[in-house]
């Protein structure tokens, strides 16, 4: 192989100890995929723009990334694990998703998948509770968990926020969360909101005999975020929500390592800036794998049927990345070893008529989360929650929504307003 293709070793099998990345590469005009792949492997490992005296042959053979497969515009690159620091997700991303996205040799570049070797999988904390722990907290053995976001999503005072939450819970919702952009604004201070919502959660549990969860958004600079998590735990909360993209991997890892007795709910706000473009950026599957590694217990992944972008196969890959012991294909197949399974969250533009499709796609191990599809019910939040729960019960009993609506005024009204899928 010519020197300029030093990083190409096509046909060579990656080692079990390697990180393996799958990229989609569109080179700039005048460059081949092979040239662009070579440049990506170089820049994401040890390459530079000119010869340097400190780069011996043995050094390069030890530390270089290797392009092991090219199929059309899809390029597989194997990275020796010596390039990475165990338990440091930020450093991993700085390598495999760093400067390469600004290189002149590529017109478009997308990181489609990333396999992590065993030693590195086991260097991360993973979910503290995962699917089984969440079910134990809520006392829900098998069925999908039903959630909602308080609407309007921002602007309510603590008393109003807690009352909407309470009505959703007594109507049949299992968990209620803050919106991703509600933190501690002057109209709804965090501590006051937390206190009132936890009081109403207890009231709803007492009235319904069911486990309920309030999920406060603790997103903030790390020192404040940790204080909020501590307060949630001290006041008897069992969940905390974090906007995982905007706080960053290092903040998430720091939160997880504090070992609060809290289920960590991951919102993916801002992900679309780099996951939506199918030619350039990072896939949501990669983000889901990383979130599971660092310790998110439940994560938004899209719906395939609601208002958010994302086809069914993409959403299913994300669900697999969170809840399977092994997932992916071929050399990118990820073994999760002792890492607990995380719970996917389907959220975005959902209403009771979507539940049969959601149940067919996701099965039992998922949170179905509704916003306007509950609070926009003609009779209000409580009736909207009951319509959702009645729709779910119909799917669990394998009966049609039209049949279920004969015995549920709330479901009938919801279907008349929004229809079914």
Question: Tokens in use for 166?
Answer: 């309470």
**Catalytic residue numbers, as ranges:** 151, 267
Tell me how far apart the alpha carbons of residues 416 and 394 are, in angstroms, rounded to a whole number. Answer: 17
**Residue 66: strand pairing partners:** 78
User: What region, left, alpha or beta, does residue 104 occupy, with left being phi > 0 and alpha being psi -120 to 50 degrees?
Assistant: alpha
Tell me how far apart the alpha carbons of residues 320 and 315 are, in angstroms, rounded to a whole number. Answer: 9
Residue 302 makes CB contacts below 8 A (sequence gap 6+) with 284, 308, 309, 310, 314, 315, 318, 346, 348
């Amino acid at each position: 192989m010519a020197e300029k293709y030093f990083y190409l070793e096509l046909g060579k099998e990656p080692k079990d100890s390697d990180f393996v990345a799958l990229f989609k590469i569109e080179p700039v005009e005048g460059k081949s995929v092979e040239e662009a792949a070579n440049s990506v492997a170089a820049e994401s490992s040890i390459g530079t723009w000119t010869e340097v005296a400190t780069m011996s042959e043995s050094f390069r053979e030890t530390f270089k990334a290797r392009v092991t497969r090219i199929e059309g515009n899809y390029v597989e690159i194997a990275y020796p694990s010596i390039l990475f620091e165990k338990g440091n997700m930020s450093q991993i991303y700085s390598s495999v998703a760093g400067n390469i996205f600004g290189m002149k040799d590529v017109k478009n570049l997308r990181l489609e998948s990333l396999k992590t070797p065993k030693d590195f999988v086991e260097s991360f904390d993973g979910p503290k509770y995962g699917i089984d722990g969440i079910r134990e907290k809520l006392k829900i053995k098998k069925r999908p968990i039903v959630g909602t976001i308080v609407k309007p999503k921002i602007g309510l005072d603590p008393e109003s926020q807690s009352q909407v939450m309470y009505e959703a819970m007594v109507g049949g919702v299992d968990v209620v969360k803050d919106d991703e952009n509600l933190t501690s604004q002057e109209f709804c201070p965090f501590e006051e909101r937390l206190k009132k919502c936890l009081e109403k959660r207890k009231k709803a549990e007492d009235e319904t005999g069911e486990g309920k969860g309030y999920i406060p958004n603790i997103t903030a600079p790390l020192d404040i975020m940790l204080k909020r998590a501590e307060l949630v735990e001290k006041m008897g909360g069992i969940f905390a929500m974090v906007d995982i993209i905007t706080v960053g991997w290092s903040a998430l890892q720091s939160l997880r390592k504090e070992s609060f007795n809290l289920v960590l709910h991951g919102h993916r706000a801002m992900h679309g800036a780099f996951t939506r473009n199918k030619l350039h950026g990072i896939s949501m599957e990669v983000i889901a794998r990383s979130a599971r590694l660092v310790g998110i217990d439940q994560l938004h992944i899209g719906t395939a049927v609601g208002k958010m972008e994302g086809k069914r196969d993409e959403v299913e890959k994300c669900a697999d990345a969170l809840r399977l012991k092994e997932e992916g294909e071929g050399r990118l197949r990820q073994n999760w070893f002792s890492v607990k399974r995380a719970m996917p969250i389907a959220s975005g533009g959902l209403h009771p008529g979507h539940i049969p499709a959601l149940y067919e796609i996701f099965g039992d191990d998922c949170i179905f989360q509704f916003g306007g599809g509950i609070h926009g019910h003609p009779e209000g939040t409580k009736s909207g929650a009951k319509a959702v729960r009645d729709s779910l019960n119909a799917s669990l009993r394998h009966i049609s929504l039209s049949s279920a609506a004969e015995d549920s005024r709330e479901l009938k009204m919801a279907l008349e307003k929004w229809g079914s899928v």
